[in-house]
Amino acid sequence: MVHAAGESSPGDLPDGTHAVVLTAADELSLHRIAKTLEASGVSFVRIHEPDPPWEGALMAIGVRPVRKEVARRWLSSLPLLR
């Protein structure tokens, strides 16, 4: 799922930029998170898996690079993938 970070990146990021992978319980949770981010004006990319057996299911969300304080406000409830 780290590829969601690459999909959401505008490229040419400054040194020291990190990708952080958080987990969501299921696809419904991802849809809820996307709705919250959208309503809050946070830029992100939805990553859908086109191949069987997922057939277009939402698999990840890539938040465009933002200050960690902004990301933390909306994503702090999600556990870090270990």
Asked whether residue 64 is assigned to any structural domain, the reply reads yes
Please state the domain count of the chain: 1
Q: Is 80 inside any structural domain? A: no
Q: Is 57 within the bounds of a domain?
A: yes
> Considering the chain, what percentage of its residues have pLDDT values greater than 70?
95
Domain presence at residue 39: yes
pLDDT for res 55: 93
How far apart CA 56 and CA 4 sit, in angstroms, is 15
Kindly state whether residue 27 falls inside one of the protein's structural domains: yes
The letter for the amino acid at 58 is L
Domain that holds residue 57: 3-9+18-75
For the chain, give the percent of residues with pLDDT over 90: 56
- Distance CA(28)–CA(57), nearest Å, equals 10
> What is the rounded average pLDDT of the residues 5-16?
77
Structure confidence by residue, pLDDT tens digits, 19-40: 888 999 999 999 999 999 999 9
Model pLDDT for residues 44-60, shown as the tens digit of each residue: 999 999 999 999 999 99
Please give the pLDDT value at position 4.
Answer: 72
